[in-house]
């Protein structure tokens, strides 16, 4: 399947064949990394990282991926030190960056911003997170992680735990897991449930098997995979409210007494208080391994999209 010059804006734009192409390319890239090799297929090409919101893993793993492919990276390091601070519009920023680069990765607080960038840019655009909406490349590496660690996606019970109302990672992932016929257990504190529209969409499009609960124990008992995200404090009007919810929802060793033996715990990171640090040392915790998979998956994406 030819993906050259395509944009990756929403998981809804990708079908199974498209995703499979990316995941199998990522396997090849992981082999390159495991053999301590690097490639030069992106020699002379550059990737522009435009981050209007904080990022560690997404930005640095795109950097690492481009460098492993022999390419260059241009980073918009600090919005306050660029012309954006002088009032330059997103449209003008994109019109300029497409002249300096072969692929644009954008993270922006406004929903729909990545779609707008893709409409303007003649170079492919990747959505690195637009507000509380979508984060499709995180989903690709999450699918890759599940497959590498559990051997399959289809038929697994995956519990998505945390702020399902604002978590863009969870919205993208729920869609992809339904597409791949996993069973979804949606576990959220009261008030932070996944929107009814999304749940209905997944049932309508994929006939998805979905259990919704506010109870952590019942979420964990059934799960083959537990995927946790933090309460997205920056999307709340009242920070105190966010902290209260955060404290009430926490994965602890005690809770994991209910876990299936082969359970894996994933987290897009950054984590705050939603996972007890004691869990980091337990056999279930795979989130640091998951951060490694970001590099081969993003190498795959870059190599498939850039002409
Ligand atoms: C996530 C994001 O930015 O949406 N982080 C990431 O990309 N790894 C999750 C989060 O911030 O909670």
CB 73 near ligand 1, within 6 Å: no
Span 60-85, mean pLDDT? Answer: 87
Contacts of 194 by beta carbon, 8 Å cutoff, 6+ apart: 160, 164, 165, 170, 171, 174, 186, 188, 212
pLDDT score, position 83: 74
Q: What is the pLDDT of residue 68?
A: 97
With a 6 A CB cut-off, is 137 part of the ligand 1 pocket?
A: no
* Position 245 pLDDT exceeds 70: yes
The single-letter DSSP state of residue 159 is E
**Confidence band, pLDDT 50/70/90 cuts, at residue 155:** very high
What pLDDT does 295 receive? 98
**With 70 as the cut, is the pLDDT of residue 81 above it?**
no
Is the CB of residue 169 below 6 angstroms from any atom belonging to ligand 1? yes
Cα-based angle 119, 125, 129 (whole degrees, multiple of 5): 105
3-state helix, strand, coil in the chain (%, to 5): 50, 15, 35
Residue 247: predicted pLDDT: 81
CA 287, CA 211: separation in Å to the nearest integer? 24
Residue 268 backbone dihedrals phi, psi, to 5 degrees:
-70, -20
Q: Is 141 in the pocket of ligand 1 (CB under 6 A)?
A: no
Q: Is the model's pLDDT at 77 over the cut of 90?
A: no
Ligand 1 pocket check for 298: Cβ under 6 Å: no
Residue 85: pLDDT over 70 = no
pLDDT value at residue 244: 82
Is residue 297 pLDDT above 90, yes or no? yes
- Rounded to whole angstroms, the Cα distance separating 164 from 161 reads 7
Give the Å distance between the CA of 232 and the centre of ligand 1: 9
Our answer on whether the CB atom of 138 is closer than 6 Å to any ligand 1 atom is yes
Mean pLDDT for 25-54 is 96
| Backbone phi and psi for residue 148, each to the nearest 5 degrees, phi listed first | -65, -35
From the CA of 235, how far away is ligand 1's center (Å)?
12
Half-sphere exposure of 90 (CA within 13 A, CB side): 18
Please tell me if the CB atom of residue 228 comes closer than 6 angstroms to any atom of ligand 1. no
Atom of ligand 1 nearest to the CA of 53: 3
CA distance 18 to 299: 16
Partners of 74 in the β-ladder: 48
Give pLDDT tens digits for 179-223: 999 999 999 999 999 999 999 999 999 999 999 999 999 899 999
- CA 52 vs CA 49, 62, 82, 129: distances in Å: 10, 15, 11, 10
Q: Which atom of ligand 1 is nearest to the CA of 58?
A: 7
Q: Please check the confidence at residue 29 and state whether its pLDDT lies above 90.
A: yes
Burial class (CB in 10 A: 0-12, 13-18, 19+), 172: buried
- pLDDT of 284 strictly over 80: yes
Identify the pLDDT of residue 143: 98
- Segment among 7-11, 54-58, 235-239 with least mean pLDDT: 235-239
Q: What is the pTM of this model?
A: 0.96
Kindly tell me if the per-residue pLDDT of 241 is higher than 70.
yes
Atom of ligand 1 nearest to the CA of 135: 4
How does pLDDT run across 108-145, given as a tens digit for each residue?
Answer: 999 999 999 999 999 999 999 999 999 999 999 999 99
With beta carbons less than 8 A apart as the criterion, state whether 28 and 304 touch: no
Ligand 1 nearest-atom number relative to CA 57: 8
In which residue are the tokens 């734009």 written? 13
The answer to whether 135 touches 128, Cβ cutoff 8 Å, is yes
CB 191 within 8 A of CB 165: yes
Residue 264's φ and ψ, nearest 5 degrees, are -120, 145
pLDDT for position 214: 95
| CB 269 less than 6 A from any atom of ligand 1 | yes
Chain-centre distance of CA 279, in angstroms? 22
> Is the confidence at residue 226, as pLDDT, over 90?
yes
């Amino acid at each position: 399947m030819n993906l050259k010059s395509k944009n990756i804006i929403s998981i809804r734009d990708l079908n199974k064949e498209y995703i499979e192409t990316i995941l199998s390319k990522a396997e090849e890239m992981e082999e390159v990394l495991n053999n301590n090799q690097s490639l030069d297929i992106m020699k002379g090409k550059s990737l522009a990282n435009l981050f209007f919101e904080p990022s560690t893993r997404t930005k640095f793993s795109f950097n690492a991926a481009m460098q492993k492919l022999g390419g260059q990276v241009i980073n918009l390091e600090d919005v306050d030190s660029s012309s954006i601070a002088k009032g330059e519009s997103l449209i003008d920023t994109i019109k300029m960056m497409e002249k300096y680069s072969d692929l644009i990765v954008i993270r922006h607080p406004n929903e729909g911003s990545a779609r707008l960038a893709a409409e303007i840019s003649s170079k492919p655009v990747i959505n690195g997170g637009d507000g509380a909406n979508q984060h499709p490349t995180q989903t690709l590496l999450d699918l890759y992680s599940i497959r590498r660690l559990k051997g399959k996606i289809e038929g697994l019970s995956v519990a998505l735990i945390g702020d399902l109302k604002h978590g863009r990672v969870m919205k993208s992932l729920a869609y992809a897991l339904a597409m791949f016929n996993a069973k979804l257990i949606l576990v959220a504190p009261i008030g932070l449930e996944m929107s009814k529209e999304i749940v209905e969409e997944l049932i309508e499009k994929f006939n998805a098997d979905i259990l919704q609960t506010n109870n952590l124990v019942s979420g964990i008992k059934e799960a083959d995979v537990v995927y946790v995200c933090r309460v997205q404090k920056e999307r709340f009007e009242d920070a105190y409210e966010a902290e209260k919810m955060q404290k009430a929802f926490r994965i602890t060793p005690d809770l994991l007494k209910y876990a299936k033996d082969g359970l894996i715990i994933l987290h897009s990171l950054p984590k705050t208080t939603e996972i007890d640090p004691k869990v980091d040392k337990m056999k279930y915790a795979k989130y640091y391994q998951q951060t490694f998979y970001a590099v081969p998956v993003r190498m795959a994406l870059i190599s498939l999209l850039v002409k």
